[in-house]
Amino acid sequence: MALHAVIMAGGSGTRFWPASREQRPKQLLRLAGSQDTLLAATVKRIAPLVPNERVWVVTAGRLLQETRDAAPALMPAHILGEPKARNTAPCVAWATAAILEEDADATIIVLPSDHHIADEPAFLAALAEATTAAESGYVTTLGIVPTRPETGYGYIEFGTSIGSAKSVKRFVEKPQLDVARSYVDAGNYLWNAGMFIFRASVMRDEIAEHMPDLAAGVTRMLSATDPARRALAIAEVFPTLPSISIDVGVMERCTRIAVVPADIGWNDVGSWESAWELASKDSDGNSLRGNALCIAGANNLVWDLRTAPHSAVLAVVGLRNMVVVFTDDAVAVLPREFAQDVRKIVEALRARGDSAFL
């Protein structure tokens, strides 16, 4: 009963513009105070439990080469490129079926590629507990112990104990602030961080039960064993699969579902604000990279990410709580509190047909 990992590495590359682009989404960036990309850090983090040869990555077809380059220790055949984005249920179904071909007795850890986890020992311990629940037949999730009444995440309400895991009473969508506050106060709500652990055969059966169209599609995709014919089948069938999340398609309909509360220093690296929080900073709270000069300012992220940093200089004076990012072909400036609005730049560039900068 070997452990496999599936790292979900899609992403449209808008929230970290101009560092992120369609061809260089967030998981391919060095954002969390590390020399590694978020994807490489995810592979490293899981390595004590899952060796590289059992790590799979599902990404967008257009990112196949970039993803292989970013995770060179993984087997190229284990990096799957989706012909079209279809949300997470087809992603999980495909990877599960592919792993079952190699290991009928597999247990699978599904992880996002673009989060940060500060407390790796606690993360690995939570995964070990979740694996125990999964091996006894539960579709298991890691639920993050909330640290604030965040309205940007879904929540999981848990109930009674199942070994060292908990039963799941319900999944709830992103709440209003007052509702989120009541969840945090109640103490039995966790953030849904998109980390799942299950026996591959259990997931196959759950998909067959709750999403028979998806199951049938994946069977057709993989019916050919000849690589060229299989590639053709994937290209034909995958885009027709139902676009639905694994949460809605399977998790919320499962009866044998468990959650392991995890207090692991999780951060979804959701915006430049998160990047500033995670970055190492000087005594004035400034995070500087490249040929950046920050005078009389505090609590800024000032990143010169150009490939030839000494060909130019990025200099700021008197800034507070600002994000300034300089790449080879763009400059973005915004207050940290406007970090979510960087996508408005991407929308404006798209609206005016400026695809070179997307």
Minimal distance, residue 325 CB to a copy of itself, in Å: 10
CB-nearer residue toward a copy of itself: 18 or 194: 18
- The secondary structure of 7-44 as a DSSP string is EEE---S-TTTTT-BTTB-GGGS--SSSSS-HHHHHHH
Work out whether 315 is an interface residue with a copy of itself (CB under 8 A): yes
Size of the site for a copy of itself (CB under 8 A): 35
CB-nearer residue toward a copy of itself: 148 or 352: 352
Work out whether 349 is an interface residue with a copy of itself (CB under 8 A): yes
How many CA within 13 A on the CB side of residue 293? 6
Nearest CA among 76, 59, 74, 87 for reference residue 4: 74
CB-nearer residue toward a copy of itself: 128 or 349: 349
Work out whether 334 is an interface residue with a copy of itself (CB under 8 A): yes
Both ends of the chain: CA-CA distance in Å? 43
Work out whether 324 is an interface residue with a copy of itself (CB under 8 A): yes
Pairing of strands 139-144, 257-262: parallel
CB-nearer residue toward a copy of itself: 228 or 351: 351
Nearest CA among 142, 119, 121, 120 for reference residue 132: 142
Taking contact as CB under 8 A, which single stretch among the options 36-44, 190-198, 199-207, 326-334 is the one that binds a copy of itself? 326-334
Taking contact as CB under 8 A, which single stretch among the options 42-50, 105-113, 152-160, 336-344 is the one that binds a copy of itself? 336-344
Work out whether 328 is an interface residue with a copy of itself (CB under 8 A): yes
CA distances from 38 to 15, 31, 113, 307 (A): 14, 7, 6, 19
For the beta carbon of residue 127, count every other beta carbon within 10 angstroms. Answer: 27
Contact positions vs a copy of itself (CB under 8 A): 17-18, 293, 295-296, 311-319, 322, 324, 326, 328-335, 337-338, 341-342, 344-345, 348-349, 354, 357
